[in-house]
Amino acid sequence: MNHGDVFLLSLTSKRAFRMLKSSNRREIVKITCSNKDDITFQVEMEENKSQVIVVCKENKNEEAERNNEKVQMNGKVFEICRMENMTFILYYEEFEKYEITEAIFERVNTIFGRNKPFVLISFDDQFLPKFHGITETRISMCWSVKASRLEEYFEAVAVQDLVEMKFWRVKIKKESKFFHAKVLEIQDSSDLGLEILLHFKGREAYLLYSLQNEDSNVINFLKRWKCKEAFQDLEILELLGFEAESFDRIEQETNVKRFPNQVNLPITILKNSFGRYNTDPTRISTYIVRSDGIVAFIVINNEMFLFHVQKFTEKQMIESGYSMG
């Protein structure tokens, strides 16, 4: 019995639904809902395996007309068809799109989603269902996205464990819960790059080609971190595609320090290369110190700005003979 069968079984009776709801399916790593082509719910398992639970389509074809059956969910009747590839297709009318998506989300999350991440994958700003159980959001859009839709979405869902965004330009209000996401991964958005350097309150941010006026913005970011004005939860910031105009200016205005020549330099690697940058280990020669003594390692070159906060103070690092890190 695959996961689609389990989903269909849950629709047969209240008893079956209760039984399935109480089970803990340990093989599932996360659940995704995507609107690429059709709305598809699937489970992701270990070893990069995945399995479709159900696909939602607006238009029926001839095969569906021949092989469909009626199912009931949340008091409404829908048509569902099992295709030759063993995928279940559930058909809906356009006006039912949000309602059916919400109903499936709640049922799938109840059956399969106990303590599992639920990922929304959206390819247009018309598909941002405001379900509180969503824990990760991946958005890939062109330039037409409306900031108001994003702000409404992030206000409605829980603070996200991960937000990935690609290929779009938009400015989001600094009060938005978007900036509270634990991890942000942003590609090709110069507008959002600066906003993140100003307002981010999460743990990790990875930006690709996402900054303008690099030197001044990085200097402002480092100064605010040093005096504990902002970014107190930040652990990692990586700007790829960074092009500094003057390394000396950044170091002088923020009091960046260099490791002594005689010590073994610590090593770091890119946490997220976006598949475009070399991930070989990099020697760290500079660091910066916060007002409470905490150290952050820094890499600045013609391709990137890396900022990795450590869990020790400069005093502890020096007393260890610079062997920490």
Instruction: Locate the domains of the chain by residue range.
Output: 1-29+36-116
- More confident: 283 or 212: 283
What's the chain's average pLDDT?
86
Q: What pTM was computed for the model?
A: 0.89
Structure confidence at residue 211 (pLDDT): 62
**In this predicted model, what pLDDT tens digit does every residue of 89-133 receive, in sequence order?**
888 888 888 888 998 998 898 888 778 899 999 988 788 999 989
Query: What pLDDT, on the 0 to 100 scale, is given for residue 61?
Result: 60
Residue 250, pLDDT score: 92
Decide which of 160 and 23 is more confident. 160
Helix or strand run (H / E) with residue 103 = helix 97-112
Helix (H) / strand (E) element for 165: namely: strand 162-166
Indicate the helix (H) or strand (E) that contains 76: strand 76-82
In this structure, are residues 42 and 113 in contact, taking their beta carbons and an 8 Å threshold? no
Q: Could you tell me if 236 and 203 are in contact, meaning their C-beta atoms sit under 8 angstroms apart?
A: yes
Residues 96 and 110 sit within 8 Å (Cβ to Cβ): no
Lookup result for tokens 């009931």:
72
What is the spatial distance between Cα 167 and Cα 188, in angstroms, rounded to a whole number?
5
- Name the token pair of 264: 């073994």
pLDDT for residue 63 is more than 60: no
What confidence score (pLDDT) does residue 143 get?
60
